[in-house]
Amino acid sequence: MSCFLPADLSFPLQLHEMKPTARAATVFIFLFFFFFNGLLVYLIIERISEAKTKFGAACSAALLYTLSEYQKLNAIDSASLPTQAWIAYAPEKIEVNRLDTHNVKFSSPLSSLATDTVAPAFIEMIVNSKAFRAIDLKSFDGIFRKALYSKKVNAEHRVDTITMTGRRFDRQQIPIKWAQKKRKEYSFSTNPIRMPYNSNIMVFVEVKSDPAFIRNDLLWPLLAFVFILFIGNAALVFVYKTIRKQKLINEVKTDFINNMTHEMKTPITIASAGLDALEHHVPFSERTSFYFHTSKKQLHLLNEFVERILDAAVQDIPDFILKKERIDLHALFEELVRGHSILNGKPVSFQLNVKGPIVIHGDRLHLETAFHNIIDNAIKYSNGTVNITIDIVENSQDSTIKIRDNGIGIPPQFIKNIFEKFFRVPQGDAQSVKGFGLGLYYVNNIIKKHSGSISVHSKPQSGTEFLITLPKHP
């Protein structure tokens, strides 16, 4: 019966069922996906912050420009006080002619004038007068509005001042008075700036947010970010779908190999055994000999073809997905012993020592192939009569299989290498046995895939013993 998984559970299950290489690639893609999108979101947030900074810089620049224009409008500059000046005065007009920059005038028409030189202190008294130090907020606001518009900022604003009393004021009081003057409805405020010659007056401007300014500044960068986001995510989705498609292809290939080897090895074994039996019981003739020879040759070629496919499949052993089921080791080894007893050309003697059924959970096809490889090696790498002893014992947690033979053995310096891919023991008659050095590599990987262990004890010309431990429960 089929069922559908919730969306939040299906991906972890699919990830668990993937082969390690596909799983690693998928995890990498998703990590890169989150990193890539997180980076773009971070860059967008930074770009928005930069736009707000530019908005504040435009408002501050407008204030500085306004101060400069206001000085010119009122004939005030920030140069140092003059050391020399001419003064013309009358009951209704006073004019100070500074030798450095501007003239400062307080005039009344149709009044008679007189001129004289005066001390700098008298001039300072004049420029520090209340009328001279006053600020016209309405005029200042008009200049600031034009300056703000020139910076492409069209937002509501207000101009305000901070007045400090005394000849020397406490600078620490500026932030306090500034905070008291600011209003919450305005999102941005410039820093207070002193008026020239008006050292006790500081001016600042508060401006409401201008969405049009932010939008115009962010339009093209955001479009570029969205385009990159779309292209990048489309590429990641394409790569992910490609990996998923490759996973399905690999699963089909694996299922084909498993089914073919299982379905073809059995009839090949039975047909070979049947031909051997018929060859010993059917009267010899030239025609029957030809038939037997041709049939055995074709079966041999077919068996080699299956072996080559198995050898190619060994390349993907680490990626195999096990299909576990209940396996009776007693019944499994009885079948292996029966098949090898009638299949080989040399005499083989088996001794199977096991009490009752011993059940484990594992992949029957792969475990049967692994045990077959060990027994097949014991027969191939031996001289004369082959004696193979198989002992199977169990405890509450594990099952232990011990397979001993009386073959040519393995030199001690090569025991540590026998489970390596493509390794073959470079010794005498062993080189006459065909193979690719993949059988024990396959065995080792299959046992480890079942969370088991395998060890080898061997002496040259004294045989070899394989000790395999497999967990009983998944």
pLDDT digits (tens, 9 = 90+) for 193-218: 887 665 678 889 999 888 887 777 77
What mean pLDDT comes out for the span 39-45?
Answer: 81
377-412 tens-digit pLDDT:
888 888 888 999 999 999 989 999 999 999 888 888
CA dist., res. 183 & res. 37, Å (int): 38
pTM of the model: 0.43
DSSP 50: H
- Top-confidence residue, 457 or 23: 457
pLDDT value of residue 465 = 95
In the chain, where are the structural domains located?
77-211, 322-474
Of 41, 45, 32, the residue nearest 233 (C-alpha): 32
pLDDT class of 427 with cuts at 50, 70, 90: low
User: At residue 39, what are phi and psi to the nearest 5 degrees?
Assistant: -65, -45
Q: What pLDDT is recorded for position 117?
A: 52
Three-state SS at 94: strand
Half-sphere exposure of 12 (CA within 13 A, CB side): 4
Give the integer Cα–Cα distance in Å for 156 and 149: 11
- Beta strands 386-394 and 453-459 are unpaired
What's the topology of domain 322-474?
Answer: Heat Shock Protein 90 (3.30.565)
- 115 strand-pairing partners: 88
**165 Cβ contact list (under 8 Å, min separation 6):** 200
pLDDT at site 99: 45
CB 363 within 8 A of CB 450: yes
Beta-bridge partner residues of 146: none
Residue where the block lists tokens 């080894």: 333
Does the pLDDT of residue 361 top 80, yes or no?
Answer: yes
pLDDT of res. 433: 67
Q: Write the CB contacts of 13 (distance below 8 Å, at least 6 apart in sequence).
A: 5
- The per-residue pLDDT for 136 is 79
pLDDT of residue 451: 92
- Flag whether pLDDT at 98 surpasses 50: no
